[in-house]
């Protein structure tokens, strides 16, 4: 069952990054990622948000310019 993300932090730890995620119950999970892995996460998030942007912002493709 999926849990709701409550918050997260990303901190540099030497050559790697520590990603700490907290769920709705306050349970924390930590991941270590390289720069390249973190960059791939950023690209995936941007791609998903770009695809969902019109729906999220309520943009109507057929709207007439003012």
Evaluate the CA torsion angle 45, 48, 50, 54 in order and state its sign: negative
**Which of these, 14, 8, 48, lies nearest to 31 by C-alpha position?**
8
Please, which contacts does 23-29 make with residues 24 or more away whose CB atoms are closer than 8 Å?
Answer: 27/3
Question: 8-41, pLDDT tens digit by residue?
Answer: 999 999 999 999 999 999 999 999 999 999 999 9
60: pLDDT strictly greater than 80: no
62: pLDDT strictly greater than 80: no
48: pLDDT strictly greater than 70: yes
Confidence (pTM): 0.72
What was the pLDDT predicted at 55? 77
64: pLDDT strictly greater than 60: no
């Amino acid at each position: 069952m999926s849990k709701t993300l409550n918050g997260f932090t990303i901190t540099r730890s030497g050559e790697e990054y520590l990603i700490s995620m907290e769920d709705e119950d306050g349970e924390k999970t930590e991941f270590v990622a390289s720069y390249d892995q973190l960059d791939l996460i950023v690209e995936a998030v941007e791609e998903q948000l770009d695809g969902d942007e019109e729906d999220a912002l309520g943009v109507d493709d057929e709207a007439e310019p003012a």
